[in-house]
Every structure is written in structure tokens, then in C-alpha cells.
Amino acid sequence: MAKEFRLPELGENVEQASVASVLVSVGDTVSANQSVLEIETDKAVAEIPTDVSGKVMEIRVAVGDKIAVGDVVLVLDESGAGGKAPEPEAKPAPEPAKPAKKEPAPAPPPAPAATEAPTPRAPAAPVSPTPRSGPVLASPSVRRMARERGIDLKDVPVADPDRPVTAGDVLAYAKSLGGEDAAPAPAAPAAPRPAAAPAQPVADGDSDAWGAVTHEPMNAIRKKTAEHMAHCWSTIPHVTQFEKVDITGLEAVRKKHGARVKEAGGKLTVTVFVLKALAAALKRFPRMNASIDLERQEILLKHYYNLGVAVDTPNGLLVPVVRDVDRKSITDLAIELPEIAVRARERKLKMDEMQGATFTVTNLGGLGVTAFTPIINAPEVAILGVSKASIEPVFEQGQFVPRLLMPVSLSYDHRVIDGADAARFMAWLKEALEQPWSLFLDEA
């Protein structure tokens, strides 16, 4: 029986997105919860899992299409190899306001070997039993799926060795091995802190004038990050200012109350305190919580305090937003931050959860970084980088004493913020983290 998979709700105020890549092909068997599409808005990219299973009969979207919530994405044969689909958990998507059929976007120019996004194509030819030999093309999610099943993508037989390996190919191969059936891959666990070096790239047989090279396709997050960072870096006149915050006292508080917060389901990390202190600092220094409107020659001061937090995920950098930080307790934030970071790493964030930030924090301290210059996340006008806290000798009252110092770096948009404003902001933030009681001295 034919069943349509429509674009589900993407989040508040997100009605439309464009297709960054299609992760399945006609003829593939997909399972409920399997990612079938990567979509992007001007702010973020996200994978979209299907809520039905079956064989893909038709793909109604193409890379570059603008699609709306409720538009038909796939038509699946539920009686296909995927078997009976479980009842979808999500509420049914609304009827599309316009015909769901999309005109396919003009085909991209003939791609080099490194094309990440497979474009929709004709039904797949019968699978060849011959494993491919050259470079193996596959999207990050397909690679992950293969990895989780212990399958080397090179061993996955496909009819056309020039096309990327699809999720269906991997599942069919897994089944043929008598291993895992066509069940969806388990959700990726929260990424362990990447202590080990990344996997060595496998040479794909190509070389340039100086030696062997590997062609690594850019996934949708990489493309978005490249585009957005280039825009931010080239349009915002950045200044970065450095400071060291003495968090010896804060660390004692963190240790003392960590267990209590853990009982409540949270993790009391330094980032949580930084978020809370920042929200208070941003209230004091409204220009830091602003955006610039060059057309109207205005600075837009925002009276809400939504903080973006850079999260390192296996697929690349994502910046989910913790809303209304000023109105949340430290325990609330300690519960919300790890939860949102896990969902970012599992690609489960909704589009609107990555939008609407007024300021961003990026903490590379857990990874051992000692100093860096963060790039402002436009349309915001400043960003705080946090580096690794370590014990350093501090000269106090005639002697050196060991203190825990945390380096921070503030990048700001010099069109909106002057150096002295940034210096005052940083001094206030430093005091808030070192002497939290000082926050209350002038408060009613």
C-alpha cells in the first residue's frame, strides 16, 4: 500500500526549509526513524527522519527545493521489503497548502567524486554482487549506520559504483549477512569527548601534484558552517579581547553542589555558571545583546536573553539556543544544557531550537584549549570563548598562591561596541564569576 511521508513540523515559526540533501534513493527500503532528508534554513541544518517504513517508490523533492511543512517528500510502498510500518508517533502533518509536487531544482553541475548529496534518480537497478573497488561515496548518516553495524562501506555491493552508497544498500547488505535486520540504527550515544585523534582518512586513489589526496564530501552542516562563518568573518569588523577569570571559589561551589544538581538530573559545569553570569551581564550592557540594522541605521537592543551554546557533534558544529537564561535557575540550566547538547549530537534538535540567540558562548576548555579567537555568530554582535581553566601562581599579598584561572576571550563587533564598552563588560562578567555576591550589591 502506498503511503506518503510529509515534511513534519520543524519547530515554532519555521514553516519552510530547503533541501540540502536527499539521503535515500528510489528502490531503497527505509525504516521508521531513519533519516531520509537533510534540510536547511538560513540558520541551521537538520536531518529529518521518516515516520513510516517501506520501499521508496517516489521522491518528490530534490536538492535545492524549497519545501513547506506538510509537503510530500516520499511515497513509500508499505508492503515493500520494509514490512509493516509501526504507527507513526508524531501527530499527522497538516495538509499542504499547495500542491506537494515540486519542480526538481536544476541538476547540479556534474559533480566531482566528492558529492555528498545524492540527487533523486530512477529506480535502482538490481544490486550487483560485486563489491566496489574505488572511492566509496556515502552521506555521513549512511557512514554512521554502516559503522554501527560493523560494515565496511567498500564491501557493500551496489549496481552502480559511481553513485553514493545509500542507507538501503547498507541495510540490504546487513540483512544478506544474516546480521541485523532492517531495523533503524540505534540513536548515536552522546559523543564522548574526542580524546583520541580522528580516524585517519583512507586514501581514495587520487593524487595532486604533491602526493596522495582523499576527497572528503562536505556534509550539510559543514557547508552551512563554511558559508555562515565566511559571511560573519568578512562582514563584521572583529576585535578580540582576552581576560583570565579566577574561578577558584566557583570551582569549590561547583564541587560542593554538584551532587545535589546531579540528583535533580543536571550536570553542574563551568559553562552553566558562565551562562547565568552572562545573562546578568547582558542586562547590564544592552549593546552586547543586540544586532545591527544597517539599512535602517539602527542598533536593535534585545530584551530577551537567549544564549547560543556551541556544541561539538560528530557531524560538526551546532549551536542550540538556551532560551530566557535570565529567568532560569542554575539547576534548570544544568539540566537543560546537557540535554540540549545530547540532542544536538543525536541530530534531534528542531530548527527553532537553533534560532533566536542574542549572544553565543563557545567553551573549548573541556578539550584543553588555552586561548582562541571566536568568530561572532551574526546577527549577534559578540561571542564569549572559554578556554581551559588551570592552576596558576598568582602574586597576592607578597607571595605566590595557587589559583584556578580560566582564560576567556570576547570577540565583539566594532561597529556596535567600542573597546572601552567591551572592557567594562568583561570586568563586570569577571567579577560576577569571581564574586557572585557582588551581583546583588546594587540590585533591589
Q: Looking at the annotation, which residues are catalytic?
A: 414
Taking CB under 6 A as the rule, does residue 307 contact ligand CAO?
Answer: no
Segment lying near ligand CAO (by CB under 6 A), choices 18-26, 289-297, 358-366, 432-440: 358-366
3-class DSSP state for residue 427? Answer: helix
Exactly one of 185, 288, 364, 410 binds ligand CAO (CB under 6 A); that residue is: 364
Number of residues lying near ligand CAO (CB under 6 A):
20
Q: In b/e form, how buried is each residue of 141-166, taking b as 16+ CB within 10 angstroms? A: bbbbbbeeeebebeebbbeebebbbb
Q: Which residue has the cell 551562562?
A: 275
Which part of the chain contacts ligand CAO (CB under 6 A), choosing from 93-101, 234-242, 307-315, 409-417? Answer: 307-315
Contact between 309 and ligand CAO per CB under 6 A: yes
Q: Is 380 in the site for ligand CAO (CB under 6 A)?
A: no
- Closest CA relative to residue 173, chosen from 28, 24, 25: 28
Task: Examine residue 362 and tell whether it contacts ligand CAO (CB under 6 A).
Answer: yes
Is residue 246 involved in binding ligand CAO (CB under 6 A)? no
The bridge status of strand 66-68 relative to strand 35-40 is: unpaired
Please give the residues from 185 up to 244 whose contact with ligand CAO meets the rule CB under 6 A. Answer: 193
The answer to whether 259 and 407 have CB atoms below 8 angstroms apart is no
| Binding of ligand CAO by 271 (CB under 6 A) | yes
| Residue 406 contacts ligand CAO per CB under 6 A | yes
Residue 54: strand, helix, or coil: strand
Copy the grid coordinates of residue 192: 564522548
- Of the two residues 55 and 254, which places its CB atom closer to ligand CAO in the complex? 254
> Contact between 354 and ligand CAO (CB under 6 A)?
no
29 makes contact with ligand CAO (CB under 6 A):
no
Tell me which of 44, 136, 261, 337 binds ligand CAO, using CB under 6 A: 337
Q: ∠ at Cα 375 (63, 306), nearest 5°?
A: 80
Q: How far is the CB of 344 from ligand CAO (least distance, A)?
A: 8
311 touching ligand CAO, by CB under 6 A: yes
Taken in order 328, 329, 330, 332, the sign of the CA dihedral is: negative
Do the Cβ atoms of 49 and 33 come closer than 8 Å? Answer: yes
